[in-house]
Amino acid sequence: MTDPVTIELSTLLESKPGVLGGRLCLRGTRISVHNVGGYYREGITAEEMAANNPDLSPWLFHAAVAYYLANREQIDAEIDEDRREELELAAKYPRGIGPSPLSP
């Protein structure tokens, strides 16, 4: 029988400059703790998120939910601010941002 492996939670999340504004992400992905927190507050469990991402370890989502819950007030405020900015941009650019319809 082999000894169980202990996984340090700090190894499951990472922040890289230049990736999603340096926001904390699931290690090896561009899935931010903010994304996971947003889904979690909509009622989606870590197990459901993991089931929708079968190539990723479920522990990544559990670690992100744990971090989100420990820092919920701050992350919720940032999620809400991101949403306000999205709505402002959508109102300012109702046709989206892209090439002019007159461009060849």
pLDDT, tens digit, for every residue of 15-58? 999 999 999 999 999 999 999 999 999 999 999 999 999 999 99
Asked if CATH classification 2.30.30.90 holds for the domain at 10-92, the reply, yes or no, is: no
- Cβ pair 39, 74 in contact under 8 A: no
- Nearest by Cα to 9 from 26, 23, 34: 26
Per-residue pLDDT band at 100 (split at 50, 70, 90)? low
Q: Is 5 helix (H, G, I), strand (E, B) or coil?
A: coil
Output phi, psi for 25, to 5 deg: -130, 165
In angstroms, the Cα distances linking 2 to 5, 29, 30, 49 are 9, 30, 33, 30
Domain boundaries, the chain: 10-92
In sequence order, what are the residues at sequence separation of 6 or more whose Cβ sits closer than 8 angstroms to the Cβ of residue 57? 12, 50
Whole-number average pLDDT of the chain = 91
